[in-house]
């Protein structure tokens, strides 16, 4: 019972904190609307002040209503996002929904603010005429402002496009600018990528609609990893293939789908062997590749040392020429050391 009471208290406090600004604007608007009637009892209120207070109260009410509506939608979308489970292995559907809801939430906040401000300005007399005169007298400035705002508008449109076409999603594994990482955050104007070494790569959101990049988890999180070895021609390829299957079966990193070993290259000294194995996620695929590489090297060192790469050198001796020239004389700097000869002190018969 106490737990339920505390939960209700936390939720109520959170909602009150969110609605504090629009409630404050609404209360000020009510006060301004009632102020002329209250002041009229004590002092004379001119028509100009009455009009000013009336317009101000309407503007504040409009801002309060727009702010409250934006806050309600934002809170509901955040609540729905918090219920999504992005930690499970097969989280493709959850990541799709999370990406769409998050981008829509950000777009709604911006559009809600713009619509609220536009509605508030329409209540102020003379604003439209002032705006028209300003644009008419400052065409060059308006053109410059439009050019300056082009990247902002491009990113905004790209954000809406990504929300529905979804070339990237939250927690996707991607390769951008030769950096591998996960999509950590999709903002309204930028995307944050968490690199494998915990660095953060921040790129404009329009990058993903204008440039080529790799998405390793576009359809599902499963991925195939590859491992390469350069070994001697005496390497037992068949035994290595059986050993690869045994290694994969000994670890939970392998998802049980793909395991294969082939000779993919050969030159005059070594052969190159490639192993393929699948995993449920990109991080598990990396760990699986390292595990296979280490286990296979250890097995080759212990059971098949002759399979390790080596350098061969061959030479030929012309026996006929060797007999004609006789043995090679010692070098000129050679000095005999009789102390190393055990028979040096014996008399010669």
Encode pLDDT of 192-223 as tens digits: 999 988 899 999 988 998 899 999 888 777 88
Which helix (H) or strand (E) segment holds residue 112: the answer is helix 92-122
Q: CB-based contacts of 240: which residues, under 8 Å, 6+ apart?
A: 261, 273, 296, 300
Does residue 17 lie within any of the structural domains?
Answer: yes
Q: Is 259 within 8 Å of 248 (Cβ atoms)?
A: yes
Does residue 60 share a domain with residue 118?
yes
Question: Once rounded to an integer, what is the mean pLDDT over residues 10-34?
Answer: 80
* Stronger pLDDT, 230 or 115, i.e. the higher one: 230
Report the CATH number that the domain containing residue 196 is assigned in CATH.
2.30.30
Residues in the chain: 349
Asked whether residue 339 is domain-assigned, the answer is no
Instruction: Give residue for tokens 């927690």.
Output: 171
Looking at residue 347, its pLDDT comes to 43
Among left, alpha and beta (phi > 0; psi -120 to 50; other), residue 198 is left
Residue 139: pLDDT above 90? no
- What's the half-sphere exposure (Cβ side, CA atoms, 13 Å) at 245? 7
Q: How many CB atoms lie within 10 A of CB 304?
A: 17
Range scoring the smallest mean pLDDT among 44-53, 149-158, 181-190, 235-244: 149-158
Query: What values do phi and psi take at 276, rounded to 5?
Result: -120, 135
CA-to-CA distance for 276 and 300, rounded, in angstroms? 18
**Residues 144 and 11 grouped into a single domain:** yes
Predicted confidence (pLDDT) per residue in 282-315, tens digit: 889 999 999 999 999 999 999 999 898 887 666 6
Total domains in the fold of the chain: 3
Of 147, 165, 183, the domain-final residue: 165
Nearest to 101 by CA among 109, 113, 91, 89: 109
Helix (H) or strand (E) holding 204: strand 200-204
Give me the domain span that covers residue 187: 173-215
pLDDT at 26 over 50: yes
pLDDT one-digit tens code per residue, 147-190: 555 666 777 777 778 877 888 888 888 999 989 898 988 887 88
Does the reported pTM lie above 0.75?
A: no
Q: What is the 3-state secondary structure (H, E, C) of 23-55?
A: HHHHHHHHHHHHHHHHHHCCCCCCHHHHHHHHH
Shared-domain flag, residues 83 and 157 = yes
Answer yes or no: is pLDDT of 18 > 60.
yes
Angle at the Cα of 79 from the Cα atoms of 77 and 80, rounded to 5 degrees: 65
18 and 149 in a common domain: yes
């Amino acid at each position: 019972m106490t737990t339920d009471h505390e939960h209700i208290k936390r939720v109520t406090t959170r909602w009150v904190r969110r609605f504090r600004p629009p409630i404050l604007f609404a209360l000020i608007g009510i006060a301004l609307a009632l102020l002329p009637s209250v002041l009229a009892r004590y002092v004379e209120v001119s028509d100009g002040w009455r009009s000013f207070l009336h317009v101000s109260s309407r503007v504040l009410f409009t801002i309060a209503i727009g702010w409250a509506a934006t806050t309600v939608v934002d809170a509901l979308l955040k609540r729905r996002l918090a219920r999504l489970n992005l930690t499970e292995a097969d989280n493709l559907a959850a990541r799709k929904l999370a990406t769409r809801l998050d981008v829509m939430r950000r777009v709604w906040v911006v559009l809600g603010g713009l619509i609220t401000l536009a509605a508030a300005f329409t209540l102020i007399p003379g604003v439209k005429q002032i705006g028209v005169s300003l644009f008419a007298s400052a065409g060059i400035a308006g053109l410059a402002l439009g050019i300056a705002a082009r990247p902002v508008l491009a990113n905004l449109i790209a954000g809406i496009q990504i929300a529905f076409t979804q070339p990237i999603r939250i927690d996707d594994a991607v390769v951008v600018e030769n950096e591998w990482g996960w999509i950590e955050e999709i903002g309204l104007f930028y995307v944050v990528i968490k690199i494998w070494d915990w660095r953060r790569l921040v790129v404009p959101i329009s990058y993903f609609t204008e440039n080529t990049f790799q998405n390793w988890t576009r359809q599902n999180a499963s991925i195939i990893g590859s491992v390469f070895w350069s070994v001697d021609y005496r390497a037992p390829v068949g035994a290595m293939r059986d050993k690869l299957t045994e290694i994969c079966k000994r670890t939970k990193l392998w998802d049980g789908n793909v395991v294969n070993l082939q000779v993919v290259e050969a030159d005059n000294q070594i052969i190159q062997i490639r192993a393929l194995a699948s995993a449920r996620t990109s991080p598990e695929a990396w760990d699986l590749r390292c595990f296979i590489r280490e286990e296979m090297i250890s097995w080759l060192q212990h059971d098949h040392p002759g399979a390790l790469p080596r350098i061969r050198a061959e030479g030929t001796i012309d026996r006929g020429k060797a007999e004609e020239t006789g043995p090679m004389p010692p070098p000129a700097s050679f000095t005999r050391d009789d102390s190393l000869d055990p028979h040096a002190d014996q008399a010669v018969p």
